C-alpha cells in the first residue's frame, strides 16, 4: 500500500498490490486522509472484492501506531507491526509469559509483554511481543498490534517477516528493474514515482478470482 504523495505528489489514489506485484485495486480519497482512520473500512472492501476474508495485515512502523491499534481493536481486526523506535530496555516492559525460541530462528527468543508503566499500558490497546538474541537481556525488536489470543509469541517474528517476501523484496526488484525512483518532471505528462513508504500486506485465506483494477 503506497503512502499518499509517494507515488505521485498530491495524488488522491491509493493502490494496493499483492504477491509478485499484482495490482489488487485502487481507491480514491482526499489527499489529507489519515490511513489508520480508513484501514478497517478498506480491509472490509478489499475482502469483498477478493471474495475471501483477510486474516491479518502486516504494517511497517509508520502504519502500525496506536491509532491503528485503537481502530483495529474496536473492529476486532488483526494486524502486526513493530514499534518505530527500538532500543527499549527490558525494564520498560512487564513480562507476562515465558521466553521461548522464535519459530524458524532458534538464535532468538520471544515473549509476550505489556508496558511497565500502568498508565501507558492502560492507554495502549496493542499487544506487545519482545524479541531478543539468546544470551541478551534487552529486546532487539518489539512487535505491536492486535492478533488472536491463541497466537504464540514465538510465531510473531515469522509472520511479520512474510512482508519481506511479499512486499519489500518485490519493491526492490521493481526499483532496480523498472526505475521506480525516477521522478520525471510534471511537464512530461508522466506520473512521478518514488519508493512507497507505508505498505501493509494483506494476508488472505482461501482462494478466489483476481479482481479487475478499478
pLDDT at residue 167 in the model: 60
At residue 198, φ and ψ (nearest 5 deg) are -115, 105
pTM listed for this prediction: 0.70
Q: Which three cell numbers stand for residue 129?
A: 511481543
Residues 21, 68: Cα–Cα separation, whole Å: 25
* In the chain, beta strands by DSSP E: 13-17, 23-28, 54-58, 79-82, 93-95, 100-102, 105-115, 127-133, 141-146, 201-204
Q: Which three cell numbers stand for residue 140?
A: 532487539
The segments of the chain whose pLDDT lies below 50 read 1-8, 180, 183-214
Residues 6, 142: Cα–Cα separation, whole Å: 27
Q: What is the pLDDT of residues 79-115, one digit of tens each?
A: 899 998 878 999 999 999 999 999 999 999 999 999 9
CA-wise closest residue to 8 among 130, 185, 210: 185
DSSP string, 117-134: SHHHHHH---EEEEEEET
Q: Are 82 and 141 in contact (CB under 8 A)?
A: yes
pLDDT at residue 26 in the model: 72
pLDDT at residue 65 in the model: 82
H, E, C per residue of 43-61: HHHHHHHHCCCEEEEECCC
pLDDT at residue 17 in the model: 65
Residues 57, 34: Cα–Cα separation, whole Å: 17
Q: Are 157 and 164 in contact (CB under 8 A)?
A: no
Q: Are 27 and 14 in contact (CB under 8 A)?
A: yes
Amino acid at each position: 500500500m503506497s503512502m499518499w504523495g509517494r507515488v505521485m505528489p498530491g495524488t488522491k489514489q491509493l493502490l494496493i498490490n499483492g504477491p509478485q506485484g499484482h495490482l489488487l485495486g485502487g481507491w480514491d480519497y482526499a489527499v489529507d486522509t489519515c490511513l489508520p482512520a480508513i484501514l478497517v473500512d478498506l480491509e472490509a472492501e478489499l475482502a469483498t472484492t477478493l471474495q475471501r476474508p483477510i486474516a491479518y495485515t502486516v504494517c511497517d512502523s509508520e502504519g502500525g501506531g496506536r491509532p491503528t491499534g485503537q481502530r483495529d481493536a474496536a473492529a476486532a481486526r488483526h494486524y502486526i507491526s513493530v514499534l518505530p523506535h527500538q532500543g527499549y530496555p527490558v525494564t520498560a516492559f512487564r513480562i507476562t509469559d515465558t521466553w521461548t525460541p522464535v519459530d524458524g530462528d532458534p538464535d532468538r527468543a520471544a515473549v509476550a509483554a505489556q508496558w511497565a508503566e500502568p498508565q501507558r499500558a492502560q492507554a495502549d490497546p496493542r499487544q506487545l511481543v519482545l524479541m531478543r538474541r539468546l544470551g541478551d537481556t534487552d529486546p532487539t525488536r518489539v512487535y505491536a498490534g492486535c492478533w488472536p489470543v491463541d497466537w504464540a509469541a514465538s510465531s510473531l517474528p515469522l509472520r511479520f517477516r512474510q512482508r519481506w517476501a511479499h512486499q519489500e523484496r518485490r519493491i526492490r526488484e521493481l526499483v532496480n528493474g523498472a526505475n521506480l525512483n525516477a521522478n520525471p518532471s510534471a511537464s512530461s505528462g508522466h506520473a512521478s514515482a518514488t519508493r512507497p513508504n507505508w505498505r501493509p500486506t494483506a494476508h488472505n485465506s482461501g482462494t478466489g478470482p483476481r479482481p479487475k483494477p478499478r
